[in-house]
Structure 1
Amino acid sequence: MQHLILLSLCLLLAASAQAQKPHPCKSPPLMVGRISVTYPKEALFAYERFTYDALGQRVRVRAEGLYQNRSFHDDLLMLFREEVMYEISYRNHSCKKRALKAPFQPIQIPRDAELQAQVIVGSSSGPGQGLLVNNWIGEVPETEGKYFMTFTEFGCLPITSLYYTDKTGWILTSFFDLVIGIEDPQEFFPPEFCATSAAVEEGDVVTDFFQALLRRDDDQ
């Protein structure tokens, strides 16, 4: 009888696990946090504080790091709906305005992503010692790329993203210190001195976020 009860419990647990198989979830549309980006092929390492608004398709990034053994500091405001990006320098009270033609990429799990595994980061030995996450894999046909993403099971918050194409090589992004919501809405408005910025020059177009980081002007 005890064996039957034990078997029944195992079957119930198996059915429950099958019913609760993770599916691509929807991440919070408003977030503030920090990320690190490692791009070995271009000898780029960046540490960034970001403010993210998926509803308005706006991103503010304050980055510092190393690019080909040279340090850099960037303050970028990317307004995807307006198709404009500002490069802001409070030190020089200057602002450069560029055309932004890249599509907005929300921080989320693609719908066609495949669940690789559900794991615990850390330990399950005691309360608070581990974090339940889901690992997702997939391909991007447009770029012939591959990705590996890790998101939390509860809250659907990003942990890591690993992306690869033959052109770029591996790009690793790690997220931490995330806060849901926007702490300061003024982050998405350029400072007053940007009002005097010259109009976007024809041909001066940014097509993706990494291109924006990799652009190094002589005066930076």
Structure 2
Amino acid sequence: MKVLVVLACILAGCLAQAPHPCRTPPFLSGALSVSTQNEKLWAVAKYEYDAFGRRVRLTEMGNYENKTFTVDFLLLYREATMYEIDTKTRSCKKSPLKDDFHPWEIPKSASLVGQAILGSSSGPGQGLLVNTWIGDLPQGAGKFISTVTEFGCIPVSTVYHTDQFGWMVTSLFNNVVGITDPSQLNPPDFCLGVETGSEEEPASFFNLFHKKQ
């Protein structure tokens, strides 16, 4: 009985601590979905995320203005380069990447909105404790509202506003800590030696989800 009382006190103490800004694990893979307020865009993508190497891979399919698309992007922030990859034709386009790399995190400047349990608190394993934060997007691009898990700082969803689409909602799922296939974060051999297109406009992470082939 004493052991149970001690464990209950420890658990209560953990839950009583105020949530604090956190950083997502440096290696993460999984899937995400994107939808927009004006209903022009929806997309689902597999992703690999490497904060140490500053690399992100997005293999995406979706619908933009009633037209379906499939795209595959590799973002290499250290090289300020983005590859648009077509594995079927073994070809790729190379574009400059204008964004700075921003780790997936809740910045210290963010403000806590609240803490909640997704699912149910009625029984063990039925719910997930999450924290929701509000803050500013990089480079003054607007506001964001992000929800991450209390334990592990695994991203659950992010809502942010753009002039083109209004509010955009990104939801992450099937997250795995680690990279399931590290080769996905390197350019394929058929992309090596490809020159940057002279007419390619610099790419940005926030416009990838409506870039069409």
Q: TM-score, normalised by structure 2?
A: 0.87
Q: Which residue identity does 2:210 align to in structure 1?
A: L
Does 2:31 align with 1:28?
Answer: no
Q: Which residue identity does 1:30 align to in structure 2?
A: F
CA distance in 2 between partners of 1:61 and 1:192 (Å): 18
Q: Which residue identity does 2:65 align to in structure 1?
A: Q
Matched-pair contact (CA < 8 Å) for 1:120–1:131: yes
Q: Which residue of 1 aligns with 2:200?
A: 204
Matches within 5 A, 1:95-174: 95-140=92-137, 142-143=139-140, 145-166=142-163, 168-174=165-171
**140 and 97 in structure 1: CA distance in 2 versus 1, 3 angstrom threshold:** closer
Q: How much does 1:91 deviate?
A: 1.3
CA distance in 2 between partners of 1:165 and 1:88 (Å): 26
Does 2:51 align with 1:54?
Answer: yes
**89 and 49 in structure 1: CA distance in 2 versus 1, 3 angstrom threshold:** same
% identity of equivalent residues: 47
Matched-pair contact (CA < 8 Å) for 2:60–2:71: yes
Q: Deviations over 1:82-119 (max 9, x none)?
A: 01111111111111111112111221111111111111
Q: Deviations over 1:48-102 (max 9, x none)?
A: 0000001110001100010111110011111010011111111111111111121
**176 and 18 in structure 1: CA distance in 2 versus 1, 3 angstrom threshold:** closer
| Relative contact order, higher structure (CA 8 A, sep 6+) | 2
Q: How much does 1:205 deviate?
A: 3.0
Q: How much does 1:131 deviate?
A: 0.5
Matched-pair contact (CA < 8 Å) for 1:143–1:165: no
Q: Which residue of 1 aligns with 2:64?
A: 67
Matched-pair contact (CA < 8 Å) for 2:95–2:203: no
CA distance in 1 between partners of 2:39 and 2:55 (Å): 26
CA distance in 2 between partners of 1:142 and 1:196 (Å): 32
Q: Which residue identity does 2:161 align to in structure 1?
A: Y
Does 2:184 align with 1:181?
Answer: no
Q: Which residue of 1 aligns with 2:4?
A: none
Aligned-residue RMSD, C-alpha: 2.3
**17 and 56 in structure 1: CA distance in 2 versus 1, 3 angstrom threshold:** closer
CA distance in 2 between partners of 1:17 and 1:59 (Å): 33
Q: Which residue of 2 aligns with 1:43?
A: 40
Give 3-state SS (helix, strand or coil) of 2:96's partner: strand
CA distance in 1 between partners of 2:122 and 2:39 (Å): 41
Structure 1 stretches of 4+ moved >6 Å: none
CA distance in 2 between partners of 1:42 and 1:119 (Å): 28
Q: How much does 1:168 deviate?
A: 4.3
Give 3-state SS (helix, strand or coil) of 1:205's partner: coil
